[in-house]
A and B are shown apart, each in its own frame.
Chain A
Amino acid sequence: MNQLKRPRILVVDDNPTDRLILLSMLRQLDYQVFEAENGLQGVALFRQEKPDLVLVDVVMPELDGYGVAREIKQIAGDSFVPVIFITSLQQDEEFARCIDAGGDDFLVKPYNRILLRAKLDAYSRQIQMHRTIQAQLEQIRENNNHLLHEQEVAKRIFDKIVKPGSLNLSNIRYRLSPLAIFNGDVALVATSPSQNILMLLGDFTGHGLAAAIGALPLTQIFYGMVGKGFSLEEILKELNTRLHEVLPVGVFCCLGAVELDIERNILHVWNGGLPTGVLYRHDIGEFLPLVSRHLALGILPANRFVAKVESYPVQPGDKVFFWTDGLLEAANATGEMYGEERVMQGLQNAASPAQLFDALNNGVDRYLDGVVPEDDISLIELTVVDRAELAQISRPFAQQAAQGPVAWSLNYNLLPDSLRNFNPLPLCLHILMEVPALRSYGGQLYTVMAELYSNALDHGVLQLSSSLKSTIDGFSQYYSERAKRLAELSSGFITLHFAYTGNDHGGKLSIEVTDSGPGFNFKKVFTNEVPSQGKYSGRGLLLLKQICSRLEYIGNGNQVRIEFDWST
């Protein structure tokens, strides 16, 4: 099994007697043989027949044995083809010269049958081993290429899924490499329904697929919860819980996150594992360090995770900076790292607040002077703005070309089995997002639909009363009752009706949700301006009124209609 099957041997010798004897010996040993009577013929025959092993006489006219050996080795390339010199030369120097010429061994005339067989067996084993190794190398090479290709594909998918959200707001400046996500660096910005700006910069340990995978739940949870109006603390808790579940031991996400409450001019900050960030106070020109006071996301289980944010009063013009450790560890040609001192010096020496970001960004590039950093350098700057400025800078999204549907309506009717097993909201949101002008309102629209749908389902179809939710016991009672009724549901429906008209300058979206429930006396409930606690969708209704331009109940209260307008 370790031997070649019936090895093929080429004999190159200009002496016919010797050749005849050798060939006969080889045939007796069951080798397949080819013969050449001079060097040139030998090389040509080798090229043609590609034998496994060559026996070549040293002394031949024109092309001698050494010349033949050199040519054959070159033709063989990476394959192992033993070349054995046949010589009747007696001196040791001649033997040494054989090996120097690239030969593998020598055989002395007159031929010794036993020695010949022993050598050929030994070489036969070597050839087989070499071929096995070559095949394995080939396999490894192939597997490697396959892996690289898969990574490429995965990377493209990731880039599509992990969208940058509102990174393009004009009060945000950032530096991210095109390979950022794949190298574990993620920067996300989103605006809440109440117009707070939430921003995070994450650095997953490791590189490649393992690092990038964490980016998926991070992104989805972040956007989903910001759009629904959750606070930074709630979002951090959920992110940590999910990442703790999903990431393997040793993989975690260093994170710096802020929530800018424009209404109250407060900045909430949380840093777990990122290098110390900076809050620039533009009135006094000072830099406040935002030190990491927590473990990175994904390390602690939910019950030990601390989501407590630090809060700072801020004014328009102030700036927040975060960077990943790739910035501090960027090493120049002599291996010296950029370091925190240089970063702070760069910031302090900047000519104006507007140039702070450039001080960071260009400063490190100048320092590197052409050396490519090992780890990605990711930076982000958020400038505090007031409400008026925010309104302006959010505008650009609406000004995209009017492709996409501009006049349409959609009716979506859901029956008990669907109500039980299927959440139609992501699909509905997706349809709304086909309208370019509505894309910057995705979060708000989702909030609205979620509110309307859950009311229709819980209170309309399932006829649960929300007053149960006012106590802790009641809360879990409510949800187990809800699960029970949903499982047993055999009749009922919810209908969602969407209609949109619009153009380049404005548009109107109406959403009507009708359920099969008995409705309620909405006139009685809504006599107060602010509905009181424990009543029908207290907080939710407030939210709807904030976002929608119009809200009305129709019929016996089992039908609700909202309108949402936008304009330039």
Chain B
Amino acid sequence: MNSDHPLDMHVVGELREIMGEDFCVLVDTFVSDSTVRLADLATALEDGDPEAFRRAAHSLKGSAGNLGAKSLMELCLQLERIGVEQRLADAPPLMASLHSRYQQAERALRDI
């Protein structure tokens, strides 16, 4: 198993068992929810609102974790800390990486 793979297949395997036919519903939910969170992060940065930033990062972190998207989750954790410690200036360099990791995860999920 490629350690750079965006998804933990063990977790995904379980999810498929749990969701059964509704796995694609889960993926769709994740995609639409994540889109909202990513938008929230951008807005929070613009507004200079560390609390809103933290919340959005926290939420995305949670669902990413549940779906086995480990590297996405780890980046969200970093962003969450930035929000907690009110260092929004440290965020912009990480945003590009965030989006690419997200897209990788989404693609991987759709491929299943």
Contact = CB atoms under 8 A, between A and B. Distances in A.
Interface of A: 14-18, 20-21, 24-25, 28, 59, 61, 88, 109-111, 113
A61 B37 CA distance: 14
B58 A18 contact: no
Contact of A15 (B18, B62, B68): B62
B67 interface: yes
B15 to A, nearest CB: 7
Given A17-B30, A20-B29, A21-B15, A109 B66 contact: yes
B62 A88 contact: yes
A131 B58 CA distance: 38
Contacts of B25: 20
5 tightest A-B contacts by CB? A17-B63, A110-B65, A110-B66, A17-B30, A24-B18
Interface of B: 11, 14-15, 18-19, 22, 25-26, 29-30, 32-34, 55, 58-59, 61-63, 65-68
Given A17-B29, A59-B59, A110-B68, 20 more contacts: A15-B33, A15-B59, A17-B66, A18-B62, A20-B29, A21-B15, A21-B18, A21-B19, A21-B26, A24-B18, A24-B19, A25-B18, A59-B55, A88-B61, A88-B65, A110-B11, A110-B65, A110-B66, A111-B66, A113-B18
19 contacts: A14-B59, A15-B59, A15-B62, A16-B29, A16-B33, A17-B29, A17-B30, A17-B63, A17-B66, A18-B62, A20-B26, A21-B15, A21-B19, A21-B26, A21-B66, A24-B18, A59-B55, A109-B66, A110-B68
A18 B62 CA distance: 7
Contacts, number: 53
A525 to B, nearest CB: 114
Contacts of A61: 55
B78 to A, nearest CB: 13
A109 B62 contact: yes
Nearest to B60: A15
Contacts of A24: 18-19, 22, 26
Contacts of A18: 62-63, 66
A88 to B, nearest CB: 5
Nearest to B30: A17
A206 B80 CA distance: 73
Nearest to A25: B18
Contacts of B65: 88, 109-110
A270 B15 CA distance: 93
